[in-house]
Amino acid sequence: MSGDLIVNLVLMTCHDYLFYASQDYGAVARPASIIGSYALMYAINRQTPEVRRAVSGNKPHYDEDLPKMRVYATPAAFIDKFPYYQSGSKNQWLDRQVQLGGTLEQTWHRGSPEMITWNSIGESLLDKMKQDNLNIPKVGAYYKHPPMSSFYFYTIGEPIPRILRIGKKYTPARLNVIPLKTEVKSDLFQPTCPVNVADLPERTQIRSGSILMIPPTPVLMACELEGEYLECRDPNGIIHCLPRPKKGRFKESWAEGG
C-alpha cells in the first residue's frame, strides 16, 4: 500500500493574524496551540465540488465529506514542537525550510497569541440601556496567533496548493511541501504529530499521551500508540511517524477505492 500513497511534510507560514475559536471562556475566545485536522482538510480540499458547501458557513457533515476529500491531513503543531527538535541538531533543518514569498528563509515567527478586544450592542441590551438610561455595551476579547506563525503537518493524497486560506477569517498561508519516503508498519510507535482520536481504528491502542479538547474531536498530544502506522523519512534523514486512520473514512485520499 505504501507505493500508492503520496505522503508529504507540509510547513505552513501564516501571512496575517490567524484566528479560530477552539476554546471559549464566556466572552473570551482563543485558539489552541494546534490546528485541527478537519479545518486543514476543508481548507486544502476547497476545490473539491462535493465538499465545497461545507466551507460556506453551513454546519459541516464530516461523515459525508471526509471520504470524498482527495487530500488527508493530520492536525498541525508549531514547528518548534516537532518531537526531535533540539538546539544545534540537524533537526533545525526544519527551520530553514519555511517559505516566505518565493524563497526559503532561515527564520520564522512563533509568538504568544495577541489579545483583541471588542464591544457590541444587541437589540435586547439596547432596550435595557434605553430603559435604565445606561451605557453598558457587551464587551469581550479574542486572541490571534501573530503573523508569520509557522506550523507543520502531514498530508496524504493528491498534490496540494502552495497557498491556502485558513481559520475563521480565511487567513492567507504559504505552504512548503516536502515529499517523504514511506513504509507501512505495525508496532509500538510515537507519532511525530498530534493525533485526531476520532480517526484511530479500533485496533490501534493508546498506550500513553495527553488529551487536548478541541471541537469537534479530542486530540492526542505527545502520545505512544500501538497499531498500524506510516514510518516516513525526509530528505535530511529525519524520521516521521503518523498513525493509519480508520479504513473507509478517507477513501479518496488513501486510495481505498469506492
**178-230 tens-digit pLDDT:** 999 999 999 999 999 999 999 999 999 999 999 988 878 899 999 999 999 99
In a domain, 258, yes or no: no
Q: What is the mean pLDDT of the chain?
A: 80
Phi, psi values for residue 203, rounded to 5°:
-75, -20
Alpha-carbon distances, residue 173 vs 18, 157, 164, 257 (angstroms) = 9, 20, 6, 31
Provide the grid cell at 140.
469581550
Domain range holding 148?
Answer: 2-243
> Contact, 210 vs 191, CB < 8 A?
no
Q: How far apart are CA 55 and CA 44, in angstroms?
A: 11
Work out whether the CA dihedral 69, 70, 71, 72 comes out positive or negative: positive
Domain membership of residue 204 (yes or no) is yes
| Average pLDDT of the segment spanning 108-133 | 62
Residue 256 counted as domain residue: no
pLDDT band at 254 (very low <50, low <70, confident <90, very high): confident
CA-wise closest residue to 206 among 193, 218, 194, 188:
188
Residue 168: inside a domain, yes or no? yes
Q: Which of 150 and 125 is assigned the larger pLDDT?
A: 150
Structural domain tally of the chain?
1
| Model confidence pLDDT, tens digit, residues 66-115 | 999 999 999 999 888 887 654 445 556 666 666 565 555 544 556 677 77
